Amino acid sequence: MSFAKQVGAVGLLASGATLGALLVLAVVSFSRKGSASDNNEDHPPPRASSTTYQNEKEQLVNHEHNYSHCKQCLQDAKHRRERLPPLIILVRHGESEGNADNTLYRTKPDNLVELTRKGLEEAQKAGKRVEGIFKKADSRRRPGCGKQEAAIKRVHLVVSPFERTRQTAAAMRPWFEHRIVRTDIQPRIREQEFGNLQGHDFQDFRNEQNKVGRFWYRFATGESGADVYDRVKSWWYDSVLNVNERYGYEPVDALVVVTHGLTMRFVLMQLFGWSPTTFHSVWNAGNCDTYVLRKDLTKPGMSPYVLDEQNGDMPRSSIDLQIEFVSQPGVRQVYKLQDYLRLPPPRTMQLDLVKEKLAEQYPEIDKDDIRRVVFMPFIDGAIVQKRTKTGRRLLKDPRYAAPADAGKAPGGIIENFAVAEESWQI
């Protein structure tokens, strides 16, 4: 046999041996795996490294820490709610020179407008009224007087920097001076900035505002209602909710806030989550009207306050509704719905209640005859042509005709102009 054939034969034998060895190893390995799966006690799985156990332990500790931290945050939030003052009283200034003569703003800056004699008397009566609210709260601390409430011993007086509000506060404070522990002049609750001076063109601005809306319209050299809302809300969160969290100051039992009618509406808007449509339905407070906010810890959130109807004034509200009747197809009439705020939120979805209220306020209306309701937050005078003696107004502008494909709601058809907004309208 040649040398080359001998080498080839040896190589073939070696390859066969190698292949056989690999087959033997595979069989042994498979048998070991099978036995390990059949009997885990004889062949337990490999243990995780110490590093893996350490990581799992750290994760567990972190979860426990986060849970403990969240629980502590909830406890802190609960205690902050409990430390809030039991009463917050909002007071509009007394009658001002500008209320008596609106042409005064042409020559006198808004921040310098003073009270009239009538306004001074209103402010003094408001001070007496506020002290009466405090005395009533004090009496509930006595045995046998029913529900216990915190006595009003320490009052924080907060005042807009405008002259008429400062004069109002000065006339009010003698009635409850013995309770006042702090007084702040707070620029963020000042009146809306209409412009440095209100010239002859100011009426043109007012006419534009009627088209755009009080909340949205921005005066040329002043603010929009939305601007005032933003600063009022920042004041509430920065100052009111932290009034009893300040280091070195004793907690107070009540805040008395002397401000402006529009500012008072924005306080309520941010507190109760009103939409701009609801805001437009609320009337301005009268001179020295008083809104009393009472703490109610059954309410959720960080501002658990409700309007106290027994001790304070209630904001008035109304909204114009375009009504179409089954008996008069194609004819749309406008009625003013009073006490719009009394409707539960979302208000624009309460069609059955709207029908009932309309029938109560207008005896000539049959609630079952109402086919369509359109909510109109504010109406330009050019759209509404006239009002009848019963309060009904006739629409002449075809721009506000209801679309043919209006969506149906239970009991009839309900619409509004701002559909996207009104889906969450309250």
Catalytic positions:
93, 191
370, 325 Cβ separation under 8 angstroms: yes
Which residue in the block uniquely carries the two structure tokens 């309520």?
A: 268
Tally of CB atoms within 10 A around 341: 20
If we measure between CA atoms, which residue out of 109, 104, 121, 110 comes closest to residue 288?
A: 121
- State phi, psi for 420 to the nearest 5 degrees: -60, -45
Structure tokens at 191: 């009146």
**b/e 279-292 (16+ beta carbons within 10 angstroms → b):** bbbbeebebbbbbb
**b/e 387-418 (16+ beta carbons within 10 angstroms → b):** eeeeebbebeeeebebeeeeeebeebbbbbee
Q: How far apart are CA 104 and CA 109, in angstroms?
A: 9
Which residue in the block uniquely carries the two structure tokens 């799985």?
A: 45
If we measure between CA atoms, which residue out of 121, 117, 236, 114 comes closest to residue 172?
A: 121
- State phi, psi for 354 to the nearest 5 degrees: -60, -45
Q: Which residues contact 102 (CB under 8 A, 6 or more apart)?
A: none
Structure tokens at 146: 């029913």
Q: Which residues contact 395 (CB under 8 A, 6 or more apart)?
A: 322, 332, 333, 334, 383, 384, 385
Instruction: Assign 390 to helix, strand or coil.
Output: coil
